[in-house]
């Protein structure tokens, strides 16, 4: 296990955030769970917050809850990360409606779904969690503030169990809901680290920062998994999980703290990284494999038909 001693941030809380007036944050999946709690924290610090949600009605309900938390404006953007045409339409709309982005937060995700495909024919978990955000980030890249804006990627402690198998990337053979999820979360981290390397090489001031929420009590454990997993999570959520609000701390740190560094990975550092003080998190060595990350990047570009203008 590699420990990213990159920033010296330890025991972080939202009190450590500065005033974020004038900073635009767009967060996918900002309508529930970790995303909603992170959006709330940023809104309280006066950021302009855009909730990017697949379900417009759920998005509107979430928006109503955060709109008066701070001085910034709060808006809604509809996007379905399992549908490339929706992603392209949302990116065009975002370019028309919003200015420079301080934090593009790739948070939305699905977990342990039965075998199914995205609109574009990709395995649902890799297709949504990784490829959807890859395309979204590529399309939105030019709008990220070149003076120090950031792209934030939310991964998971589950990345530690992930393997990238390029010969069976979409798990057409031997589909396993958990392994597909682990793979998608490893892909998230490989993407964040490769983006960091490319930005650094280009002398860009844009940051690529990753984070994870530990083990947090959210709808994610109950919206995708089958009945057996749901029964297990009902027990483990009650015993081990921390509230979603605490799970959102690393996302808020990555999105808004000036001391968060590009190439950093933040999350709970206590009990098996599931909970505890927030700081520099443990990274599985496979997530730092530059060769695998480069290949995954190139494969992703080919699959989504888009590249980054770094």
Nearest CA-CA partner of 40 in 134, 111, 105: 105
Determine which one of 122, 181, 233, 265 is catalytic. 181
* CA gap 37, 49 in Å, rounded: 12
Cα 55–Cα 38–Cα 137 angle in degrees, nearest 5: 65
Catalytic residue list contains 181: yes
Laid out side by side, the sheet with 24-28 consists of 74-78, 48-53, 24-28, 103-106, 150-154, 207-211, 265-268, 278-280
Q: What is the DSSP string of 65-122?
A: HHTTSSSS-EEEEE--TT-HHHHHHHHHHHHHH---BSEEEE-----SPPS-B-TTSS
* CA gap 171, 128 in Å, rounded: 14
Nearest CA-CA partner of 274 in 160, 110, 192: 160
* CA gap 231, 280 in Å, rounded: 32
Pairing of strands 278-280, 74-78: unpaired
Backbone conformation region of residue 222, classed left if phi is above 0, alpha if psi is from -120 to 50, else beta: alpha
**Residues classed as catalytic:** 181
């Amino acid at each position: 296990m590699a420990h990213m001693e990159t920033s010296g941030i330890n025991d972080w809380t939202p009190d450590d955030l500065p005033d974020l007036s004038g900073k635009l944050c767009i967060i996918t999946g900002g309508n529930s769970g970790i995303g909603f709690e992170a959006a709330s924290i940023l809104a309280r610090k006066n950021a302009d917050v855009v909730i990017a949600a697949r379900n417009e009605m759920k998005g509107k309900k979430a928006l109503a809850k955060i709109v008066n938390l701070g001085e910034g404006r709060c808006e809604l953007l509809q996007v379905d990360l399992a549908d490339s045409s929706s992603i392209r339409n949302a990116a065009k709309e975002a370019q028309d409606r919003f200015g420079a982005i301080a934090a593009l937060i790739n948070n939305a995700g699905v977990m342990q779904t039965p075998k199914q495909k995205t609109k574009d024919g990709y395995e649902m978990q890799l297709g949504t969690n990784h490829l959807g955000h890859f395309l979204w980030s590529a399309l939105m890249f030019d709008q990220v503030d070149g003076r120090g804006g950031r792209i934030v990627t939310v991964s998971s402690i589950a990345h530690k169990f992930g393997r990238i198998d390029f010969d069976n990337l979409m798990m057409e053979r031997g589909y396993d809901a958990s392994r597909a999820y682990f793979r998608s979360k490893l892909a998230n981290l490989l993407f964040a680290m490769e983006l960091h390397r490319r930005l650094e090489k280009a002398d860009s001031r844009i940051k690529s920062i990753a984070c994870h929420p530990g083990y947090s009590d959210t709808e994610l454990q109950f919206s995708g998994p089958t009945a057996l997993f749901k029964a297990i999570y009902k027990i483990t959520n009650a015993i081990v999980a921390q509230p979603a609000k605490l799970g959102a701390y690393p996302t808020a740190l990555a999105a808004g703290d000036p001391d968060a560094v590009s190439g950093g990975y933040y999350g709970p550092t206590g009990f098996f990284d599931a909970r505890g003080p927030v700081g520099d998190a443990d990274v599985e060595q496979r997530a730092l494999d530059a060769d695998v990350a480069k290949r995954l990047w190139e494969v992703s570009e080919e699959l989504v038909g888009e590249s980054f203008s770094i």
